[in-house]
Amino acid sequence: MVDIIRRFFDFCGDENRRKFRLSVILGVIQAFFEAFKIPAVACMVRALLRGSVETRDILMSFGIMVISIIGAGLVKSKSMMLQTEAGYETCAGKRVEIAEHMRYLPMGYFNRNSLGQITSVTTNVMENLENVATRVVMMVCEGLLTTSLIVVMLMFFDIRIALVLLAGFALFLWANGFLQKAAGSMAVRKMDADEKVVEKVLEYLQGMTEVKAYHLSGQKRGELEDAIRENVNANTDMEMKLVPRMSAQNYVAKLTGICMAACTCYFYCNGTMDALTAVVMVISAFIVYASLESAGNYSALLRTVDISVKRAQEILDTPQMDITGEDITPAAHTLSAENAVFSYDQRKVIDGISLTVPEHTTTAIVGPSGGGKTTLVNLLARFWDVDEGTIRLDGRDVKEYDMDSLMKNFSFVFQNVYLFHDTVANNIRFGQPEAPMEKVIEAAKKACAHDFIMALPDGYDTVIGEGGASLSGGEKQRISIARAMMKDAPVIFLDEATANVDPENENELMKAIRALTEEKTVIMIAHRLKTVEHADQILVVDHGKIVQRGTHEELLNQAGIYRNFISERREAAGWKVKEKRA
């Protein structure tokens, strides 16, 4: 239990840990104020034992009671405020920290971990810490500390009752150990079930088109329902198995209070304890029961808190790519690779590739599906680090660059464009949030996007759906190109930028790409003849190696993949439906 609380405080960081500790201290002070009710009652009992209740006794008892109520209220208010601030600040800070940490994780991390797992950590897990963990940890800490202080205080009144309480407290902690052990495995199951629900909901919604097209609604809905059912079962089983153990723990707390009261009566009756002390001991027994019951009830959730902390910490402990380079501004923008080797899950994807992309030239990468084209581009852009060999920009290893200073040199237009649920203007100025509207419009015009943007209901202020769902593929691509133009980086990566565009939009998109790539260093993955035939060099990648390289004309004169590729494209371009004559 103590280890779990310690890990939670360590997770919170210095400033919020200080607030939580201060809140715990205030909670104990609150318990002291609550305990002032004991001397308030003792004043009246002493007066009754004396045989006459004077005004002074009533006023003293009333005054102590007022101090108890007001003091406890003020301290509790401050304690709760600190808890709330520390809880929300911790989770807000950790969400940002996780997001910043993931910026520099190798792309393989996102291949190994599903979107549902990552989303669950930043939603369910952080919400557990935000709303549940704070309350749980505080109540457990306060309950245990208050009980410990009462043990010490009772030593000065009657050591016999103090020892009874100490024995009951030890028995309570023993019972709590069994509770924590049972909660451990069930908390893992609950967290796994929560992740699975998020994963299946995202999968169902994102794949809705395929689900409907292939009549899989029943199957996929069944998978979602299974995940929800398992989540219900995990939570129900957790409650059903923990409640009996919590009840046993509470019985220990009750028995401790009963034993304290019973021993007090026995000692009073045999004349070894005076009446005033007996009253104080009985009232203390009730306070102890309340403290232990509170700590016990909330402690059942400590394992969930611990698993939540571990799940969040797992992401933060995932090794980042080495980003501790220098802030370098390259004089030229020539990219090169030397004997680059990269494996994914023990499978070699890039096998000893060497290449040079001179500044202000265009290099097209073609080849069979699965040959390693996208992986090669990811290595050149340093989305991954090579296992062996070197990637260089301006003759310097990309690892020598600070990651942010390296990325300043690169712009990307991906095959699958992601647009944010925001205005068109803000999506274009994504890399330069303070850019004036004039620059946004200028970039949109160069990207051949201005006309269709102006036709939208609110023009540049139109809020587009998440992922750009309200726009066509070509429109999303042109906004992506305008975004890249706003960045105006000297090196452009194009990954199948025209693959999913209809013929009506292709001419506009090609104009936009020409405007984007003018006087730039360009690396493109392409399958269309129009986008590769004018490249300065063409690299044919197959099975992780460059099997051919040269210009369009040079490769046409060589037997191999490229000539076959061009022949297939020309045959496809010349294909048409013949009319059937009567």
Question: What's residue 505's pLDDT?
Answer: 60
* pLDDT tens digits along 111-132: 666 666 777 777 777 777 776 7
Q: Is the predicted pLDDT of residue 196 greater than 90, yes or no?
A: no
Question: What's residue 444's pLDDT?
Answer: 87
Alpha-carbon span 439 to 350, nearest angstrom: 40
Class of domain 326-409+534-575: alpha beta
For CA atoms 215, 219, 222, 223, give the dihedral sign: negative
> Edge-to-edge strand order for the sheet containing 537-542?
410-413, 491-495, 521-525, 362-366, 537-542, 545-550
Tokens 């198995």 identify what position? 241
Question: What's residue 4's pLDDT?
Answer: 72
Q: Higher pLDDT residue, 400 or 534?
A: 400
| DSSP code, position 465 | P
Question: What's residue 469's pLDDT?
Answer: 64
Alpha-carbon span 425 to 482, nearest angstrom: 10
Q: Which of 31, 39, 37, 35 is nearest to 75 (CA)?
A: 31
In one-letter notation, the amino acid at residue 227 is A
User: Given 3-state DSSP classes, what are the helix, strand and coil percentages for the chain, each rounded to the nearest 5?
Assistant: 65, 10, 20
Q: What is the mean pLDDT of residues 250-262?
A: 83
* pLDDT tens digits along 567-577: 776 665 555 54
Q: Among the ranges 39-53, 110-124, 161-175, which has the highest mean pLDDT value?
A: 161-175
* pLDDT tens digits along 449-479: 888 889 888 889 988 876 666 677 778 888 8
Q: Higher pLDDT residue, 183 or 335?
A: 335
Q: Higher pLDDT residue, 334 or 37?
A: 334
Question: What's residue 232's pLDDT?
Answer: 83
Q: What percent of the chain has pLDDT over 90?
A: 4
CATH classification for the domain delimited by 2-317, as one of 2.60.40.420, 3.40.50.2000, 3.40.50.10490, 1.20.1560.10:
1.20.1560.10
Question: What's residue 577's pLDDT?
Answer: 46
Number of H helices and E strands in the chain, helices first, is: 23, 10
Contact 231, 194 (CB under 8 A): yes
Q: How confident is the model at residue 582 (pLDDT cuts 50, 70, 90)?
A: very low
Q: Higher pLDDT residue, 216 or 187?
A: 187
Q: What is the mean pLDDT of residues 17-28?
A: 82
> Edge-to-edge strand order for the sheet containing 388-393?
347-357, 335-344, 388-393, 396-397
Of the CA atoms within 13 Å of residue 338, those in its CB half-sphere come to 8
Q: Which of 24, 17, 18 is nearest to 94 (CA)?
A: 17
Q: What angle do CA 282, 137, 30 make, to 5 degrees?
A: 45
Q: What is the mean pLDDT of residues 315-342?
A: 85
Q: Where in the chain is the domain with CATH 1.20.1560.10?
A: 2-317
Q: What is the mean pLDDT of residues 286-312?
A: 73
Q: Higher pLDDT residue, 237 or 575?
A: 237
Alpha-carbon span 112 to 345, nearest angstrom: 9
Q: What is the mean pLDDT of residues 242-269?
A: 82
Alpha-carbon span 341 to 158, nearest angstrom: 76
Alpha-carbon span 377 to 411, nearest angstrom: 12
Q: Higher pLDDT residue, 41 or 327?
A: 327
Q: How confident is the model at residue 339 (pLDDT cuts 50, 70, 90)?
A: very high
211 φ/ψ angles, rounded to the nearest 5 degrees: -60, -45
Q: What is the mean pLDDT of residues 358-387?
A: 87
* pLDDT tens digits along 381-420: 888 888 899 999 998 998 888 888 888 888 888 777 778 8
| DSSP code, position 359 | T
Maximum Cα–Cα distance for the chain, whole Å?
126
In one-letter notation, the amino acid at residue 29 is I
Question: What's residue 214's pLDDT?
Answer: 55
Which DSSP string corresponds to 368-431?
STTSSHHHHHHHHTTSS--SEEEEEETTEEGGGB-HHHHHTTEEEE-SS----SSBHHHHHTTT
Q: What is the mean pLDDT of residues 190-194?
A: 75
Kindly report the length of the chain: 582
* Strand ranges for 270-373 from DSSP E: 335-344, 347-357, 362-366
Encoded tokens for 279: 């009253």
Residue 378 CA to its chain's centroid (Å): 24
Q: Which residues partner with 396 through β-bridges?
A: 393
Name the average pLDDT for the chain.
79
Q: How confident is the model at residue 357 (pLDDT cuts 50, 70, 90)?
A: very high
Q: Where in the chain is the domain with CATH 3.40.50.300?
A: 326-409+534-575
Tell me the whole-structure pTM to 2 decimals.
0.64
